[in-house]
Amino acid sequence: MAGQVGIVIVENTFLIRAGIEKMLDELSGLLILEVFDGTEKRLCEKIKQHKPDMVLLNPEALGESFFKVVSELQSEPLLKLVGMCQSHTAENFKSRFHHCLHLTDGKHELMEQIRSIDTSLSKPKTKPDQSISGREAEILKYIALGLTNQEVADTLFLSIHTVTTHRKNITKKLGIKTVSGLTVYALMHQLISLNEIEGKA
């Protein structure tokens, strides 16, 4: 792992976990060692086995064991403990972390914050610009919210053929075929919010 920053993620929400993993994959010099959902027995022991440089942790994933787990991790002098916090996260939770990321921030803000935590991380790996159009972004939003092609067509007063064509273009441009993957993309680019997804559940 020489020359790389090893990171462990503790997050119990699939979409957030997938989004964080995808975002971190774009940072050169960073290696995701393991991902936990917070319910594992002997979690601290398992985290320490990987000897990470940084732990990204959502306090809500730990529930009542939060203070015990964080206290144990704080005993590791070289470990950077980073909280993945939300607007309602209590200050006595936030204060236990060396740094806090705010899950409502945009992708580029989050990446900048992570780079500022560990300055050895370089800028994102260069990828071709595959930006989608405004209409495609609008369609992607509804797909990510779980609407079928026909429902999207009805909502936007488009033909089913037009929606299908746009969806194929979106998939081709982004290289993402699954609805869950498109949902993660939409979250990371702030086309939809976690509240909207929870409202559809």
Q: What stretches of 52-158 show up as alpha helix (H) in DSSP?
A: 59-62, 66-74, 91-94, 107-117, 134-144, 149-156
pLDDT at 151 over 60: yes
Establish whether domains 5-117 and 134-200 are of one fold. Answer: no
Task: Say what the pLDDT of residue 122 is.
Answer: 56
- Which option is the CATH number for 134-200: 2.40.110.10, 1.10.10.1100, 1.10.10.10, 3.40.50.300? 1.10.10.10
pLDDT mean across residues, the chain: 85
Distance, CA of 201 to CA of 52 (rounded, Å): 35
Which residues are paired to 27 by β-bridges?
124
The pTM of the full predicted model, rounded to 2 decimals, is 0.64
Distance, CA of 11 to CA of 36 (rounded, Å): 6
pLDDT digits (tens, 9 = 90+) for 72-97: 998 888 899 999 988 888 898 999 99
Taken in order 160, 163, 167, 169, the sign of the CA dihedral is positive
Residue 28's CB is within 10 A of a number of other CB atoms, namely 12
> What residues does each domain of the chain span?
5-117, 134-200
When pLDDT is cut at 50, 70 and 90, the band that residue 1 belongs to is very low
Judging by beta carbons within 10 Å of its beta carbon (0-12, 13-18, 19+), is residue 176 exposed, middle or buried? middle
- Of 175, 176, 104, 186, nearest to 145 by C-alpha is 186
Lowest mean pLDDT among 66-70, 119-123, 124-128, 182-186: 124-128
Classify 54 as helix, strand or coil: strand
Distance, CA of 176 to CA of 144 (rounded, Å): 12
Mean pLDDT of the 89-115 span: 87
Q: Span 5-117: which CATH code?
A: 3.40.50.2300
